[in-house]
């Protein structure tokens, strides 16, 4: 397929190449013999699809393997400037650069290594692979029946609009500045939430039944015919698929909401993995996989639920196939709590932390929105760096929450 077939006419000084022509390696990883049994607490990093997100690498749940298993997988060793591309499953096509700290690691069979040649900057190729037009092209080619997958051959035959290196560097620098700011905001948010955990933990001195300090609304799914991705109706979260740091990401909407959560409610997964937690950024509809936990003390209840992970673990194996928790069980759960005399003052302190987190996450959404708007324009040459630079600088210089 040519660039013209997907509606791209690059500037005259750009070249049209294939991924095969601008890479020295494209290939998926492998699972070591023994599977999870060879995982160790410390060892060689073993990258899986859950670690690969668009524009960012998530260290949560990063696995490690021992030296023997690493030796088995030496053919899929990760090198400096590698690009990681998910090639199967629900997270298909998520794509990021390998952080330097994980050079020398290994990668499993659900992730492909895309190793650029000298003809293209790694960050430029990563941005190209995450542009909407390329995502659409790759999804259209994905095969595998009920499980989507994209092959090495399909990746190698993808077209690339390739500007001169100097222009690649300018484009990558601009988009990279947004990525850096997003990463900075994300790190500060994590620090603040950790602070909230510490503050709550220092005051928690007793346990109380959840139903005594919160109202629980179990989710219910609206009719499937009411779902859309056009923004029509109310934001809908069926389960944890859209959960992110602290808040879920908007993806699906419904015109016939049944059960609702309001801004500030804790959103708790009631199906495996039970206990996964987010907060409602705005009023939303919740499906069967979630419960809304509402309290006079929204920050306290959020950190209390975060401190209750050992409780949720006991529900993971209940049910015939998947772990789950019903309303009766959830209502009777004993959660950590604080003395009555400390409730108001501690809610105020935690509320200040949470307001800062929400403001930071709102800033992050603005930054991500600008990046995702500029990405297809810059990568296709429809907008030049000089035009976009003012928009980026205005947002970057705007500062964060007070």
Q: pLDDT tens digit string along 304-347?
A: 999 998 888 777 654 434 578 999 999 999 999 999 999 999 99
Average pLDDT per consecutive 10 residues, the chain (402 residues; last block may be shorter): 89 96 96 87 95 93 93 95 94 95 96 97 96 90 74 95 96 95 96 98 97 98 94 96 94 96 97 94 97 98 95 65 82 97 98 98 95 95 94 79 42
pLDDT computed for residue 120 by the predictor: 97
pLDDT at 146: 60
Query: pLDDT at position 145, please?
Result: 59
Per-residue confidence (pLDDT) for residue 319, from 0 to 100: 44
Q: What is the model's pLDDT at position 141?
A: 83
Among 224, 214, 288, CA closest to 254? 224
CB 262 within 8 A of CB 286: no
Could you give the domains of the chain?
3-162 (3.90.220.20), 204-338 (3.90.220.20)
Q: Cβ–Cβ contacts within 10 Å for residue 400, how many? A: 14
Place of tokens 């100097």: 166
At residue 322, the pLDDT reads 55
Which sign does the torsion angle of CA 259, 263, 269, 270 carry? negative
Q: Three-state secondary structure along 5-74?
A: HHCCCCCCCCEEEEHHHCEEEEEECCCCCCHHHHEEEEEEEEECHHHEECCEECCCCCEEECHHHHHHCH
- On the 0-12 / 13-18 / 19+ scale of CB atoms within 10 A, 366 is middle
Q: Following CA atoms 333, 337, 340, 341 in sequence, which dihedral angle do they give, to the nearest 10 degrees?
A: 180
Residues in contact with 84: Cβ distance below 8 Å, sequence separation at least 6, in sequence order: 47, 51, 52, 57, 95, 96, 97, 98, 107, 111, 112, 113, 114
> What's residue 323's pLDDT?
75
* pLDDT at site 399: 52
**Closest to 346 measured CA to CA, from 308, 311, 302:** 302
d(CA 189, CA 182): 11
pTM of the model: 0.87
151 Cβ contact partners less than 8 Å away, ≥ 6 residues apart: 87, 143
How is residue 47 written in tokens? 């990258």
- Residue whose entry in the numeric block shows the structure tokens 């056009």: 230
């Amino acid at each position: 397929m040519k660039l013209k077939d997907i509606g791209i006419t690059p500037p005259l000084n750009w070249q049209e190449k294939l991924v095969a022509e601008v890479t020295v390696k494209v290939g998926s990883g492998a699972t070591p013999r023994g599977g999870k049994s060879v995982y160790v607490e410390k060892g060689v990093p073993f990258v899986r699809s859950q670690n690969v997100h668009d524009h960012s690498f998530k260290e949560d749940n990063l696995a490690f393997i021992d030296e023997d298993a690493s030796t088995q997988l030496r053919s899929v060793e990760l090198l400096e400037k590698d690009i990681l591309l998910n090639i199967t499953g629900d997270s298909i096509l998520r794509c990021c650069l390998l952080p330097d700290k994980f050079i020398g690691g290994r990668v499993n069979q659900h992730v492909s290594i895309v190793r650029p040649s000298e003809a293209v900057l790694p960050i430029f190729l990563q941005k190209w692979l995450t542009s909407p037009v390329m995502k659409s092209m790759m999804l259209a080619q994905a095969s595998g029946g009920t499980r989507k997958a994209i092959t090495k051959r399909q990746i190698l035959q993808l077209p690339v609009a390739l500007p001169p290196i100097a222009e690649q560097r300018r484009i990558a620098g601009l988009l990279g500045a947004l990525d850096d700011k997003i990463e900075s905001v994300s790190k500060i948010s994590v620090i603040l939430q950790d602070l909230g955990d510490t503050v709550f933990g220092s005051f928690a001195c007793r346990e109380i039944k959840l139903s005594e300090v919160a109202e629980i609304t179990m989710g219910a799914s609206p009719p499937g015919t009411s779902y859309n991705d056009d923004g029509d109706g109310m934001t809908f979260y069926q389960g944890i698929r859209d959960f992110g740091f602290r808040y879920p990401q908007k993806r699906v909407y419904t015109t016939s909401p049944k059960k609702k959560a309001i801004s500030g409610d804790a959103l708790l997964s009631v199906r495996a993995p039970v206990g996964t937690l987010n907060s409602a950024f705005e009023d939303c509809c919740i499906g069967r996989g979630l419960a809304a936990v509402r309290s006079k003390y929204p920050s306290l209840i959020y950190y209390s639920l975060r401190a209750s992970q050992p409780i949720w673990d006991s529900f993971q194996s209940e049910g015939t196939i998947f772990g789950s928790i019903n309303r009766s069980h959830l209502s009777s759960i004993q959660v950590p709590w604080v003395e009555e005399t400390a409730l108001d003052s501690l809610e105020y302190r935690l509320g200040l932390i949470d307001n800062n987190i929400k403001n930071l996450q709102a800033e992050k959404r603005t930054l991500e929105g600008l990046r995702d708007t500029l990405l297809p324009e810059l990568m296709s040459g429809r907008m030049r760096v000089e035009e976009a630079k003012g928009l980026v600088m205005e947002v970057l210089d705007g500062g964060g929450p007070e």
